[in-house]
Each structure stands twice: as C-alpha cells, then as structure tokens.
Amino acid sequence: MDDAQHEGFTLVELLIALAIAALLAGIAAPAMARFLDNARLRAATEDIARELVLARSHAYTFRKPVYFNITVTESAWCYGWGEASSCDCSIDNPQTACQTDDSGLIRDHLQTSADYPQIRLMLPTRQGTSRSLRFSPLRGTATATSFSLENRNDQTRIIVSILGRVRTCSPELGGYLAC
C-alpha cells in the first residue's frame, strides 16, 4: 500500500496534538481565573461607585436627603439607599426602607454580595459592621468615608469626600489610579 493515498492523522500525531493542547490549557487556566476574579472586582467597584453617584444626584435633583447604608457580616455584605434614614439593606424586607420616589415612580435601591461571588467588602475598623452616609439635598455634600473591596489577588477602594465626590483607586489593579 502506498502511504501517499491515505489522508488524515496517525494515532501518534493525534496524541501529540492533544498533549500540546492540554499543556496550553493548563498554562492558561490560572491566568483566566485571575482575569475573571479581577473582572468581578471591577464590576462590584464600579457598580457601588455608580450607585453612590446616583444617590448624590438624587438628593440634589429632588431636594431630599438620601441615606446610603452599607452592612458587612462575616459571610456577606449589602448596600442600599433611599430617602428614609431607616434604609437598612440587612433587614428582612429592605425594599420598604431603601426606596426613592421619583415623581410618583417608586424605585428600590438594593444590592447584595450574592451577585459578586468571592468579593469581600471591608469597612474601616473604626466603623464596625455598618456604615450610613447622608447626601445633603442642598449641595450634594456627604458624610466622608472610604471602604475597600477585595478578591484573592487585588484590592480596590471607594472614597467619598465630604463634598460628595466619589472616586475609586487601587494599589495594584490596572485601570485605576494608585491609592
């Protein structure tokens, strides 16, 4: 038989190709895991920063004080904001407390850590397990604070100034200003 007439791969060639593919997948898996972890960290950071800006804007636009509450437990965290000072994302029915009335349209503002697996939110030690910010309706000023979000590899910080300005930074994660 003439080998020139047979097309395809031999078993040895196929096994070598599979071994190379497995080796490349093994090298890429840790980098992919870190990429996904950092994407979750960025998403959580940007979502919280956006909600803080929205809460400030709501206070200024509708001329009502807005309260932004963050609660951290050992296994979970949450945040919520609304026009009532009783806004507490950790209560059984937080929708009744963390709401705004946008010209007759009632909106719920609540987020839990369930949407951000493996992301931890940390308040400064002196603030305990809960922190409430108040955005003033007059100038959008706020209770100054900062808190951190972290995963296995990196950390970000969200800083709210007394003027209500919200900014994000990270000591190592690319795409953010250094803290």
pLDDT digits (tens, 9 = 90+) for 80-118: 888 888 777 777 665 566 777 777 667 777 888 888 989
* pLDDT at residue 39 in the model: 92
How many of the other CB atoms lie within 10 Å of CB of 73?
11
Domains, the chain, ranges and CATH?
Answer: 9-169 (3.55.40.10)
User: Which residue do the tokens 């060639």 mark?
Assistant: 13
pTM: 0.79
Average pLDDT over residues 158-178: 92
pLDDT per residue as tens digits for the range 3-30: 567 677 788 888 898 888 888 878 877 8
How remote is the C-alpha of 165 from its chain's centroid?
Answer: 18
Helix (H) or strand (E) holding 102: strand 99-102
- Phi/psi of residue 83, each to 5°? -85, -15
**How far apart, in whole angstroms, are the C-alpha atoms of residue 8 and residue 95?**
63
User: Which residue do the tokens 């904001």 mark?
Assistant: 81
CA distances from 92 to 22, 79, 97, 103, 119 (A): 48, 14, 10, 27, 23
* pLDDT at residue 83 in the model: 87
pLDDT per residue as tens digits for the range 29-74: 788 888 889 999 999 999 999 999 999 999 999 999 999 989 888 8
